Amino acid sequence: MHSLNLTHDPQIKSWLATANRPDGNFPLQNLPFAVFRRAQSHEAFRGGVAIGDQVIDLAAVAALVARDSMSSFSADAIVALEAGRLQTLNQLMQLGPRFWSALRLALFEGFRTGSSLQSQLERCLIPQAGVEFTVPAQIGNYTDFYASIYHATAVGRLFRPDEPLLPNYHWLPIGYHGRASSIGISGQSFHRPTGQIKISGESAPVLKPSARLDYELELGVFVGTGNPLGARISIREAESQVFGLCLLNDWSARDIQAWEYQPLGPFLAKNFATTISPWIVTLEALAPFRSPCTRPDGPPLLDYLDSLSNRQSGSIDIHLETLIRSSSMREANVPAYRLASTSFRHSYWTIAQLVAHHTINGCNLQPGDLLGTGTQSGPTPAEAGSLLELSQGGKQSFAISPTEQRTFLEDGDVVIMRGWCESPSATRIGFGEVIGQVLPAMKL
């Protein structure tokens, strides 16, 4: 777990004015990573770091450091920079926290007020408004968990009113192996999935477009160095294996899911699209926003899922919100409607527990693997992370504008998720947004 250091000092400002806005996502204290290029260009994608309204082009910084020796770039920072300039961040992720921290510190020093490198680094900036992003790593494997007890209880109640939580929930983080090939970057659009749907009371299923299409508000966890097959990652080492977090929308077709999920779990209801935000916020940047892991109930944990530091500060207070904007809202210039908001601090299972559990049997995590936390819902109904919960299983529609109601998503709907961290003693940092759009189903 990261302790606070110079790079978290809220007193230190940047020479870049837009990095100092109190409501901004990307101050000097954040420095998240993405893979980008100039929009509509044929440039190679390469690593970048957000600051204010700009992207620090890591390939340009690497070229600069190679040409002029720059004293604030340590040997470790240069190794990290050489990995960060590539078309995917896998190599940077593989290096480990010593190198990630060294690059963070070098960029912090270079962009802070009074840096002697200002005039050189100014030439390495590209406005965020003029770039496009791609999935930041080659994601070999994607695992999705079910870490919010409030989500698990609300969904369980719809299907099993007498026993909403199955007995294993308090003992282990429930998860399944998902599909990496359909993970897309913010801006992704996809056709409403078609699948087998069995209407209650009918004797046979029919093939048709999903009528109960939903989103799931999640965080994505990018694995760093990982572990060899047959080895384990202990809960104490787990966070040093995590490169950082992004926002994740696990699009879900509830009617396809309801028919197919037993006995092996989700399949075609989930694997048609998963959308992630472009920026990966490192655990080091999130250090000022840690909170105790509170387990309101349940049995004592097995040792491999428990540690003092996990109890004291295993959770992270990340504010999360979901908004919707329909086609007609866009045409009428009506702003997006906020569906719900919550915080990741309510998660029953922490990131360290997800990693420790995933590897307890010797399963190897690899650099760039992605773990979804599962839908994040808070303790009250207004903090629900899916429409399934907000519409009480589709039974209760609600207004999203003066003229429109929703239970599930309609064609043309745009779903927007945002995340940010605030604390009186730290500089606010943000994740930005993940945006995705539902297109009509393809013809059969």
- Measured from the CB atom, is 8 or 270 closer to Ca ion? 270
Best CA proximity match to 47, nearest among 91, 4, 3: 91
Contact 135, 179 (CB under 8 A): no
Pick the binder of Ca ion from 57, 144, 214, 284 (CB under 5 A).
Answer: 144
CA dihedral 225, 231, 234, 237 (to 10 degrees): -30
- Measured from the CB atom, is 216 or 410 closer to Ca ion? 216
- Measured from the CB atom, is 29 or 391 closer to Ca ion? 391
Contact 136, 34 (CB under 8 A): yes
Binding mask 404-443 for Ca ion (x = CB under 5 A): ----------------------------------------
Judged by CB under 5 A, the chain residues 90 through 129 that form the site for Ca ion are none
**Piece of 35-43, 140-148, 156-164, 194-202 that binds Ca ion (CB under 5 A):** 140-148
- Joined together, the tokens standing for residue 99 give 């190198």
Token pair 């097995």 is at which residue?
A: 302
* Annotated catalytic residue, options 2, 8, 151, 319: 151
* Least distance to Ca ion, CB of residue 322, Å: 14
Binding mask 216-255 for Ca ion (x = CB under 5 A): x---------------------------------x-----
Judged by CB under 5 A, the chain residues 1 through 30 that form the site for Ca ion are none
* Least distance to Ca ion, CB of residue 412, Å: 23
- Measured from the CB atom, is 57 or 250 closer to Ca ion? 250
- Measured from the CB atom, is 112 or 346 closer to Ca ion? 346
| Count of residues making up the chain | 444
Best CA proximity match to 362, nearest among 219, 230, 178, 223: 230
Told to check if 389 binds Ca ion by CB under 5 A, we report no
Q: How far is CA 409 from the centre of its chain?
A: 21
- Tally the C-alpha atoms within 13 A of residue 175's C-alpha that lie toward its C-beta: 23
> What secondary structure letter does DSSP report for 251?
-
151 part of the active site: yes
Query: Which position's Cβ is nearest Ca ion?
Result: 250
Binding mask 197-216 for Ca ion (x = CB under 5 A): -------------------x
User: How many angstroms separate the CA atoms of 381 and 392, rounded?
Assistant: 10
* DSSP secondary structure letters along 239-308: GGGEEEEEEEE--EEHHHHHHH-TTT--STTTTT-EEE-S-BEETTTTGGGEE-----SSPPPPGGG--H
**Piece of 138-146, 302-310, 357-365, 429-437 that binds Ca ion (CB under 5 A):** 138-146
User: How many angstroms separate the CA atoms of 347 and 317, rounded?
Assistant: 10
User: How many angstroms separate the CA atoms of 432 and 414, rounded?
Assistant: 16
- Measured from the CB atom, is 81 or 371 closer to Ca ion? 371
* Least distance to Ca ion, CB of residue 218, Å: 6
How many residues make contact with Ca ion (CB under 5 A)?
3
394's CB contacts (< 8 A; 6+ apart) are 212, 254, 388, 407, 408
Binding site for Ca ion (CB under 5 A): 144, 216, 250
Q: Give catalytic residue positions.
A: 151
